[in-house]
Amino acid sequence: MLTPEQQAEIDAERAEPRQTLRAVSPGMERHLYTAHPVLDHGFVRVIDYMGDDNAITQAARVSYGKGTKAVSNDEGLIRYLMRHWHSTPFEMCEVKFHVKLPVFVARQWIRHRTANVNEYSARYSILDREFYIPEPDALNAQSTVNNQGRGATLQGEEAARVLEILKADSTRSYDHYEEMLSQDGKDGLARELARMNLPANVYTQWYWKVDLHNLFHFLRLRADSHAQYEIRVYAEEMCRLVKDWVPFAYAAFEDYRMGGANLSGKGVECVRRMLKGEEVTQETSGMSKGEWREFMEVVG
């Protein structure tokens, strides 16, 4: 997972604590530099961070002035900010992660264009012989109702056949990658060209720096049960880190974003009609069948 050089760097950093006058989060200090395993060869670790729960309330009080005097404590203010979608105070906190992940997960991840990213360069360096091979219980058939989702878990001979294909293709492609790079002591193919033969399950690494507001947006989508498993496990590990970093903000996020729901104007009106005892159906709701199905998932 970690190379000996990376582990030595981590050990050296953790062995030399530094005094600082800036605000620190005791919960996040415990996680600094530590690699938290994800998937078979991946990890997430915190390289640096700025701010804590207090940084959020401090920024809000500067921006809102007297308007916040009615809020009696920091936790209440943070919940108010989250409840009313005030995003800028949460942007006062930032965190920098070092992530090791399969390339196909990275391509999905990079669609969140609100972070600063620096990725391992396969033009400059040689990629390691490390590929994501799913556990048997993560091998699923294509969903018949969701074009971008999974269906039932593959069983028996079919699961074994797929795993063998994945392992064999990964090994063969990396063997050819090495062959193209070096040919009997002669200069081989340029690294920037040889890499194109590698499959999307090869591992890459990057530094990913993001503010808390945009991190919450990422986590809301990628830690959701509907997200692809391979990116969801990274988001879930990051949730645990963020919970220790900004406990008040994370609790509000978990309540209002992860555990809450948004209703359209038609949805609110239907709820009001239901509370008055009226029987409301899809035909009388003014919603499409898809909207009605999603609405009923929320209200039961």
SS3 letters for the chain? Answer: CCCHHHHHHHHHHHCCCCCCCCCCCHHHHCCECCCEEECCCEEEEEEEEECCHHHHHHHHHHHHHHHHCCCCCHHHHHHHHHHCCCCHHHHHCEEEEEEEEEHHHHHHHCCCCCCEEEECCCCCCCCCCCECCCCHHHCEEECCCCCCCEEEECCHHHHHHHHHHHHHHHHHHHHHHHHHHEECCEECCCHHHHHHHCCCCEEEEEEEEEEHHHHHHHHHHHCCCCCCHHHHHHHHHHHHHHHHHCHHHHHHHHHHHHCCCCCCHHHHHHHHHHHCCCCCCHHHHCCCHHHHHHHHHHHC
Q: Which of 177, 171, 207 is nearest to 191 (CA)?
A: 177
pLDDT on residue 188: 86
Find tokens 């729960």 and name the residue.
53
pLDDT, one tens digit per residue, over 167-203 is 999 999 999 999 999 766 677 899 999 999 999 999 9
- State the catalytic residues: 222
Q: CATH for 1-132+201-260?
A: 3.30.1360.170
pLDDT on residue 291: 92
Find tokens 């990376």 and name the residue.
6
**Residue-level pLDDT, tens digit, the chain, 300 residues:** 778 888 888 888 878 777 888 889 999 999 999 999 999 999 999 999 999 999 999 999 886 555 555 445 889 999 999 999 999 999 999 999 999 999 999 999 999 999 999 999 999 899 999 999 999 988 888 877 777 778 788 888 999 999 999 999 999 999 999 999 976 667 789 999 999 999 999 999 999 999 999 999 999 999 999 899 999 999 999 999 999 999 999 999 999 999 888 899 999 999 999 999 999 999 999 999 999 999 999 988
pLDDT on residue 279: 94
pLDDT on residue 236: 98
> With contact defined as beta carbons under 8 Å apart, do 259 and 83 qualify?
no
Domain boundaries, the chain: 1-132+201-260, 135-199, 263-300
What does the block give as tokens for 181?
Answer: 């790079």
Burial of 32 (0-12, 13-18, 19+ CB in 10 A): middle
